[in-house]
Every structure is written in C-alpha cells, then in structure tokens.
Amino acid sequence: MKNVTLLTLLVFILAACNVKTPENTSNNNYLRSAEADTVDATNDFYDNAKTIELPVKPIQVAGEIENPGMVNFSRLPLRSVIVKETVLSENGDQFVGAYRYDGYALYDILNQCKLDKKNAEEFNPIIDLYVQIENDKGEKVNISWGEIYYPNHLQEIIIAKRVMRIVPSKTNELWPLPKTGKLVVATDLITERNISNPVKITVKSYPKSFKTVKGLKPLYSETIDIYNENEKVETLTGNPEDLQEEKFHTIFYGRGRGIHSTQPFNGVMLKDVLAGYTNLNQKNIREGIFLVSAKDGYRGVFTFSEIMNRNDQSEVLLICRPEVKDNGIFRLFPACDFFSDRAIKGITAIHFSANEQ
C-alpha cells in the first residue's frame, strides 16, 4: 500500500510540473519530444515548432581505417544542434533560416573506426587527419580530425535526420525546410558545408611528406613560408604590425602530459594573417585545408572554415616570440581545442590547398 501511495504521489508531481518524458527510443539520448510545445510549457526555445523527419541515405565509411563499411545508425545516439543557416550570394551573405537539427554526430559515427594511417611510420600523431564527406551529387566537404575529436564543444557536426524551424515569436516567419538528410556543421558562420544527402565518409591523412626529427633541439625557425596551392606567396619574419594583438586566457592542457600552464597567450588571429592570401568562396569553405608544419616535421591540419569561417569566436592565434630560442619563434594557440596537441611550435610553413588531396 505504501508503494502504491508513493507511485501515485510521483505521478501527481510530474503532471503538475508538466514534465515531458523522453521519446520511447532505445538508441538515443535525445530528450525533446517530437511534438511542438505550443503553450510554452518549458523554458526551451528550441521545441516550440513541429519537428520534421528527413530521409537519410545509407552512408559508407572508407579510407584509412581497418574496418570500412556501412554506418549502422540504429546503434548511434541522436544529437541536437542549433544553426542560423547562411550561404554566399552575389549580393552578400544570404540568410536562409534558423533551425534545430537532430541527427548522428560524426564523433559517434567514426568513434569505433580503427585508424590505419598511410603515413603512420613517418608521423604517427592523428592531428594531420581529416575526413571528406561526399553526397549523391558528388559535392565534397572536408572536416579536420581536430574539428571532430578536439573541440571544447563535442558532437556539433552531425548528419541530420530531422529538423525544426526556430520561429521568431513576433513575425512568425516560417523558414523554408530542407527535404533530405544533410551534413550540418554547427560552428560555421557561412554554412556552405551543410550539404544534402551525404553518402560517403572517407578518412584521409594529409599526403604531404616531411622529415621528422623527434626531440629536435633547438626547435627554432626565424621565418614562416606561406604557400597557396604549392606556390609560395609570403615569408613572415614576425607578426604583421598592422594587426591587433589579442590576449587569450586559457587552461593549457595536453592529451598526454595534462596541465601545461594557466598563463595567457598573446598573438594575432591567424585568419587575419591569412586573409590576404585566400578567398572566401564556396570551394574554399567546403574543401580548403591548411597544413601547418614545424621544423621537426610535426604538423597539423585545419580546414579553411575552421580558421576563417567560425561563428563562435574561438579563434586560432599566431604567436611570435623572437626571444624564445627553443620552440620558437612562431607557434599556434587554437582556442577552439580542448587539448594542446595542435598548438604547433617552431612553425616553418603554412600550406593551403582546396584541390583534391
């Protein structure tokens, strides 16, 4: 009798609070109901409209992994992201609409893929990896391994299987809805990487080779050569004087050695340094890749969009300290990363390419 009374009391409390229960699904951690909250029963702005299902095509995972095959979506949790979609146009940036997307994160899709790097003997670290997503039209998008597994905010790149408009409360404007599943990169400002109907994900290591000297002392380079499609376009001997120096406070933490420091980093935004040597266009946003390499052969991949097209102000700093005779004079600080692995030091070159690797 006592148990029945407690159960009745619990039901009463839930009803009084109007608590929504999760969807009855065994394969996800999605907490919102697919039904619209039209009476503001919750404080959530992102459940107020109807959720629409999007058909997702079968997706193959291939490339530098030991276990290629088709993605089994039934084993993956659903993730949720919010996006203000905007594309390039001749008349300036064109706003498309604001949406909540639910779908399967690349983080989860690739999580159990066992890597088989082609260049592992030369360079074993994983930070020169990227994935190429291709859709049924042959359109391609590149995403760095760092964007998937290193960011401060995980699971923000998804294959969307459903969508909800985020409707402005005063205008009630209804943004156009997509009709198919799509890739959604929630950290992009211009959302040209959000391509429809992805069908293939290919894991790749950047194919440029460097001599690797582990433990090189001193790790020091007085200059950085900047290349655009293998053509040298600039040699830096210091940070450009016309750029404003920024101070980023951080807890600098490595995946291997843990805490390094709690001291701030001072430098200029890498996107401002590179802006004069690359163009903001659809091809570069979708396929552009920067490879940052150091004197000891250490290197890391960043996509064009990751550096030049962020919507979260988690920028990459270029730091120049001529007085540092080891690990100098140039280094990166990627404020977007949780770990310090891509804080490359002793930089000698930055290579950019938007052509097939």
Percent of the chain with pLDDT over 70: 90
CB within 8 Å of 2: residues ≥ 6 apart: none
State residue 46's pLDDT score: 84
- Reported as a single tens digit per residue, the pLDDT across 226-241 is 999 999 999 999 999 8
Q: Report if residue 2 sits inside a domain.
A: no
Report if residue 332 sits inside a domain: yes
199 vs 16, which has greater pLDDT? 199
Query: Is residue 6 one of the residues assigned to a domain?
Result: no
Report whether 232 contacts 226 (CB < 8 A): yes
Same domain for 40 and 167? Answer: yes
pLDDT value for 39: 67
Whether residues 95 and 237 fall in one domain: no
Name the phi and psi angles at 348, rounded to 5. Answer: -115, -25
Asked if residue 246 is part of any domain, the answer here is yes
| pLDDT tens, residue by residue, 38-92 | 767 777 788 878 999 999 999 999 999 999 999 999 999 999 999 999 999 988 8
192 and 52 belong to one structural domain: yes
d(C-alpha 36, C-alpha 130), whole Å: 37
Q: Within this chain, do residues 188 and 321 fall inside the same structural domain, yes or no?
A: no
User: Does residue 310 lie in a domain region?
Assistant: yes
User: 181 with 228, same domain?
Assistant: no
Q: What span, in angstroms and rounded, lies between the C-alpha atoms of 341 and 356?
A: 26
Is 11 part of any domain?
A: no
> Is the domain of 105 the same as that of 132?
yes
SS3 46: helix
Q: Among the three residues 205, 235, 252, which one is the final residue of a domain in this structure?
A: 205
Q: Assess if residue 279 is contained within a domain.
A: yes
CB atoms within 10 A of CB 317: 23
pLDDT band at 255 (very low <50, low <70, confident <90, very high): confident
Cβ atoms of 310 and 329 within 8 Å: the answer is no
Outline where DSSP puts E strands in 8-76.
51-53, 60-63, 69-70
Listed in sequence order, the DSSP H helices in the chain are 2-17, 106-109, 145-149, 270-274, 282-287, 304-308
Strand partners, 205: 129
Please indicate, yes or no, whether residues 270 and 164 belong to a single structural domain of this protein: no
b/e per residue 118-132 (b: at least 16 CB within 10 A): ebeeebebbbbbbbb
Give residue 258's Cα distance to chain centre: 23
Q: What angle do CA 315, 318, 319 make, to 5 degrees?
A: 125
Q: Per the structure block, which two tokens stand in for 185?
A: 């990169």
pLDDT of residue 119: 96
pLDDT of residue 221: 95
pLDDT of residue 33: 62
Q: Does the pLDDT value for residue 6 go beyond 50?
A: no
> What kind and span of H or E run contains 270?
helix 270-274
Regarding whether 229 and 187 lie in a shared domain, the answer is no
Contacts of 4 (CB under 8 A, 6+ apart): none
Residue 189 has pLDDT above 60, yes or no: yes
Q: Are residues 145 and 252 in the same domain?
A: no
Residue 27 has a pLDDT of 46
Name the average pLDDT for the chain.
Answer: 90
Q: How far is CA 328 from CA 60, 277, 314, 319, in A?
A: 42, 23, 23, 9
Please give the residue range of the domain that contains residue 249. 224-353
Instruction: Mark which of 205, 235, 257 sits at the end of a domain.
Output: 205
Q: Which of 38, 39, 56, 49 is nearest to 82 (CA)?
A: 49
The string of DSSP codes covering 161-208 is EEEEE---TTT---PPPPSS-EEEETTBSS-TT--BSEEEEEEEE---
> 136-154, pLDDT tens digit by residue?
999 999 999 999 999 999 9
Q: Are residues 238 and 141 in the same domain?
A: no
Helices (H), 288-337: 304-308
257 — pLDDT class (breaks 50, 70, 90): confident
Residue 298 confidence (pLDDT): 97
Among candidate residues 205, 237, 256, the one where a domain is terminated? 205
- pLDDT of 331: 96
Give the whole-number percent of the chain exceeding pLDDT 90. Answer: 80
Q: Is the pLDDT of residue 106 over 90?
A: yes
Which is more confidently placed, 7 or 130? 130
Confidence of residue 285 (pLDDT cuts 50, 70, 90): very high
Number of domains into which the chain is organized: 2
The predicted structure's pLDDT at residue 32: 61
Residue 285 in tokens: 């946003």
210 lies in a domain? no
Assess whether 284 and 164 both reside in one domain. Answer: no
The residue ranking higher by pLDDT, 263 or 1, is 263
Confidence of residue 131 (pLDDT cuts 50, 70, 90): very high
Same domain, 77 and 133: yes
Query: Rounded CA gap, 31 and 45, in Å?
Result: 14
pLDDT value for 34: 66
Q: What was the pLDDT predicted at 174?
A: 95
Query: Is the predicted pLDDT of residue 339 greater than 50, yes or no?
Result: yes
Residue 21 has pLDDT above 60, yes or no: no
pLDDT band (50, 70, 90) for residue 163: very high
Residue 50's nearest CA partner among 33, 66, 63 is 33
In this prediction the pTM is 0.88
